[in-house]
Structures are given as C-alpha cells and as structure tokens.
Copies of this chain bind each other. A is one copy, B any other.
C-alpha cells in the first residue's frame, strides 16, 4: 500500500496560499491605489518593461482581449503608455511605456518590493527556492478563456 498524496498537507498549503494571496492583494491594491491605479492597471504596467502585444498582455493578465483594450485606453489617456505598431504583423499593436509611464512603473515596483509580504521574511536562499517553485508552477498553463 503506497502512501498517496497527503490531504492534510495539501489543505494546509492551500490555506496558507489563500491567506498569503489575500495579504498580497490587499497590499498591492493599497499600493496601486496610492498611485491612482487599479490592480489590473498596476499589473499591466508591471508587465511593460519592454513593449508587449496586446494579445500577450491578455494572456499575462488572464483576462479577455477586450479588457486589455479598456486598460490600454485608460493608461493611454493618462499618458502612461502608447500603442505602437508591430513591424512584422500589421494587425498587432504593442503597448509601450512613455517616459511618465516608466517613472510610474519604477515607483510602483519600488513600493511593491519594499512592502510585499511574499518577500519581506525571506533570505537569499529562500528567495531562490521560491523562484524555483514558481518556475515549476508556470509550466503547465492552460490558456485563459
């Protein structure tokens, strides 16, 4: 009789993850709100180190493409991003930071780094271990609806 997966362990992991994410969400919401952004706008900005096709953004955010249009409209209206054409495929539009957008992104990331509960209590080795786990979890991804 081999031992199956430990249900008690799984339940504890899920419970702790849900609590951690609740804390992260609250923290991130507070940070973005302080910068005049919604959570989704903040996440989009975080993705934009380099220009990103809108379709890719939808996959990163696990949301519908039409919602990326909404987010892009708002960020563009505030002068934080621009829609730039893709040289290879004329259907594609990439989202790219403006100067102001870059500055706000830097501020966002600095604040998140300083306050996010998922990093505060970890030393270098633990951070490396966490990153390894997150890479494993990123592999088997279904497509967002």
Interface residues, chain A, with chain B CB atoms under 8 Å away: 5-7, 9-26, 28, 43, 46-47, 60-62, 109, 112-113, 116-122, 124, 126-131, 133-142, 144-145
List the B residue with the shortest CB-CB distance to A145: B26
9 new A-B pairs (CB below 8 Å) besides A9-B131, A20-B137, A120-B139?
Answer: A13-B118, A13-B130, A16-B131, A18-B43, A18-B46, A19-B138, A21-B25, A120-B140, A121-B137
Establish whether residues A118 and B23, one from each chain, have CB atoms under 8 Å apart when the complex forms: no
Bound together, the chains give a CA A20 to CA B18 distance in angstroms of: 11
State the copy count for this chain. Answer: 2
> Can you list 6 contacts pairing A with B, beta carbon distance less than 8 Å?
A11-B109, A13-B127, A16-B134, A26-B144, A126-B133, A130-B133
Report whether B139 and A10 are in contact in the complex, using a CB–CB cutoff of 8 Å.
Answer: no
Contacts A13-B127, A112-B14 known; A133 to B122 CB distance under 8 Å? yes
B17–A113 CB distance below 8 A: no
In angstroms, Cα B18 to Cα A140, docked, is 15
Which residues of the partner chain B approach A23 to less than 8 Å between Cβ atoms?
62, 141
A26, closest chain B residue (CB): B62
CA distance A86 to B71 in the complex (A): 46
Q: A18-B46, A127-B13 are in contact. Are A7 and B136 (CB under 8 A)?
A: no
Q: Is the CB of A18 within 8 A of B14?
A: no
